Amino acid sequence: MDNTRRFCFIHLVIELRDYQQSLLDDIASAFEDASVKDVCAVLPTGGGKTVTFSAFTQRQTLPVAISVHRTELVSQISMTLARFGIRHRLIAPAATIRAIRNEHHREFGAIFDHPQAVHSVASVDTLLTRADQYQDYCRQVGWVITDEAAHMLRDNKWGVARGLFANARGIGFTATPKRADGKGLGRHADGLFDRMIQGPTTGQLIRLGHLSDYRIIAKPSDINTDGVKIGSTGDFSAPQLRARSHQSHIVGDVVATYLKFAAGKQGITFTVDVETANELAAQFRAAGVPAEAVSAQTPEAERQDAVRRFRNGELKQLVNCDLFGEGFDVPGVEVVSLARPTMSLSLYLQQVGRALRILAGKLHALIIDHVGNWEKHGLPDSPRVWTLDGTDRKSREQDDAVKLTTCLGCFLVFERKLLPTCPYCSYVREPSERGRPEQVDGDLTELDPAVLASLREAVQLETPQRVGQKVEFKAGRPAGRAAFKHQEERIESQTKLQDAIALWAGARKAKGQTDQMSYREFFLTYGVDVLTAQTLKRVEMDALCERVTQGIAA
């Protein structure tokens, strides 16, 4: 591979993919601007953030400190640094350090932790607790890397930890630089970053073969989040969410659905609390599925043992509460079951991303969504616009969420424009009524013939002469002239809109879309069917024409 950098230690070879190297090159270019002190680097879940910043660390002569927000991630990053042959100091609780050293010895036959090493991996909480002890080292650090950088705001503990490295430039890595509370990561907003560098999107990585394709199964569930309060973080109130979960039948639903659609596959299940995780693991085991419940409360050695047994195929299910959502890399995942509702786009993408890593023999990942997260947040690879600015947390993410539907036959999620036939099982959904365009998602081929004829008739606007004459007869010549002019302008606007719609439809047809798909996509995108659009007021047609024109190349 001509464009691949290789790093070897004994028999281990770690390769940087082209896009990972390009991301590092773009980061280096950003720091050529002396005013840039901190850069936010965006790379999707499964894109290899840890490998990328480990490669960066290996190349540095100045000390690099890698800051993480949970102790269990210290172990994961330490193992990756060890694979690069990088000696590093561990700033973490003593029990965590002992467990990591044991893991080093077990896998490499050597220990890469050294208390005087140049580079380091630090738990944020431990670093802050022992700030006095490490102040001399912090002053020497030239680069500080923050993992899961969406946490870092100017005034929170992650920002305070960043401030300990006063002489360092910073790189924050994240898959989703969007916070559920709407706060911005930019220095001009609530955070510390001066610039954002974006790698490839999830969709691009799937098309390139670096991430797995997927299917979403969305069976109806009785868990009800109506009225659940939104906390200060922007996500559901944990106590209320737990109560709603225990009132539902979700435990039985998760196990039964796994057995129906994914029996024998290795999966991760996300729950709302430790109690539910334990109950679900017991239900899996009772059904003959080897499973363990793990959480932040599970001793580290036990967590590592569970992940090891999962990797070896001894376990088929790891049921967890708030453990494998962010950063934690669990190998060999074929299916993810979502039993935890969330308002956080970041958490949703992190969770479903656990299944997107490629695996030999895996045709596609299965995402079983029991709680409707797909309806709130869209597809894992929906196009998204990231920004360092703050956002209104009450505003809905502008993605494909409103354009999706569930097949009533196989329960797989797909784009609504593909109706009425499911692309997976060929189930045909018949409209409940055909009397209005909105009942058929704007698909004119599905409308009642009489309704369609009426719409087509309404598109035929009267001539300016006819309109002028009628108004002149009722209100006089000046009013008639004004009406003539207005109708002339309206017809001109309609003609421009018709041309734009024709070009828009032509672009979709060139991509292989049928007329039905094109009709539905237009309706779902612009909120009006193509015939009714041509009967709008002139100013409304002009505004729609501009939107359609902009969307032709999309």
pLDDT score recorded for residue 8: 41
Average pLDDT over residues 444-473: 94
Q: Return the percentage of the chain with pLDDT > 90, whole number.
A: 73
Model's pTM, two decimal places? 0.82
pLDDT at 6: 41
339: pLDDT strictly greater than 70: yes
- Do 195 and 211 belong together in one domain? no
pLDDT range class, residue 554, cuts 50, 70, 90: low
Mean pLDDT of 159-187: 95
Q: How many CB atoms lie within 10 A of CB 142?
A: 15
Residue 133 shares a structural domain with residue 227: no
The predicted structure's pLDDT at residue 399: 44
Q: Is residue 126 part of a domain?
A: yes
Cα dihedral sign, 280-282-288-294: positive
In this prediction, residue 397 carries a pLDDT of 46
Write down which residue in 342, 365, 382 finishes a domain: 382
Residues 197, 210: one domain?
Answer: no
pLDDT surpasses 60 at 427: yes
**In the predicted structure, residue 4 carries a pLDDT above the cut 50:** no
CATH code, 294 = 3.40.50.300
Q: Is the pLDDT of residue 319 over 60?
A: yes
pLDDT at 228: 73
311 within a domain of the structure (yes/no): yes
Clarify whether residues 254 and 144 are in a common domain.
Answer: no
Residues 252 and 355 occupy one common structural domain: yes
**Is residue 413 domain-resident?**
no
Contact between residue 199 and residue 22 where contact means Cβ atoms under 8 Å apart: yes
232 and 302, same domain (yes or no): yes
168-177, 281-290, 383-392: segment of lowest average pLDDT = 383-392
Count of domains forming the chain: 3
pLDDT band at 14 (very low <50, low <70, confident <90, very high): low
Q: Give yes or no: residues 183 and 253 share one domain.
A: no
AA letter at 381: D
Of 165-169, 196-200, 369-373, which range is least confident? 369-373
Question: What is the model's pLDDT at position 233?
Answer: 65
pLDDT mean over 331-356: 91
What does the pLDDT read at residue 393?
A: 55
Instruction: Tell me the CA distances in angstroms from 421 to 324, 369, 524, one per residue in order.
Output: 36, 21, 17
3-state class (DSSP) for residue 437:
helix
Q: At 284, phi and psi to the nearest 5?
A: -60, -50
Q: According to the model, what pLDDT value does residue 194 have?
A: 98
What strand order describes the sheet that includes 169-174?
A: 88-91, 119-123, 64-68, 143-147, 169-174, 38-42, 195-198
Burial of 120 (0-12, 13-18, 19+ CB in 10 A): buried
**For residues 455, 458, 461 and 462, what is the CA-based torsion angle, rounded to 10 degrees?**
150
Enumerate long-range contacts of 543-548, CB under 8 Å, 24 or more apart.
544/497, 545/493, 545/496, 545/497, 545/500, 548/497, 548/500, 548/501, 548/504
Instruction: Say yes or no: 189 and 297 in one domain.
Output: no
Residues 359 and 321 occupy one common structural domain: yes
Residue 3 in this model has a pLDDT that exceeds 90: no
Domain boundary residue among 335, 351, 382? Answer: 382
Residue 226 lies in a domain: yes
State the chain's mean pLDDT as an integer: 90
- pLDDT digits 0-9 by tens, 467-488: 999 998 999 999 999 999 999 9
| Residue of 181 and 137 predicted with greater confidence | 137
Q: What is the pLDDT of residues 18-68, one digit of tens each?
A: 999 999 999 999 999 999 999 999 999 999 999 999 999 999 999 999 999
Whether residue 427 is contained in a domain is answered as: no
DSSP state at residue 421: B
Q: Tell me if 397 is assigned to some domain.
A: no
Q: Which of 382, 413, 428 corresponds to the end of one domain?
A: 382
Rg (CA), the chain: 28
Confidence at residue 229, expressed as pLDDT on a 0 to 100 scale:
74
pLDDT at 10: 43
> 339 is in which domain, residue-wise?
206-382
Q: Tell whether 31 and 120 lie within a shared domain.
A: yes
> Does residue 313 have a pLDDT over 60?
yes
% of the chain exceeding 70 in pLDDT: 93
Are residues 113 and 255 both part of a single domain?
no
Helix and strand numbers (H, E) in the chain are 19, 17
Question: Residue 314 domain-assigned?
Answer: yes
pLDDT at 403: 83
The per-residue pLDDT for range 378-426, each reduced to its tens digit, is: 999 988 989 999 987 555 444 444 588 999 899 999 988 899 999 999 9
Model confidence at 245, pLDDT cuts 50, 70, 90, reads confident
Verify that 44 and 192 share a domain, yes or no: yes
Question: For residue 403, is it within any domain?
Answer: no
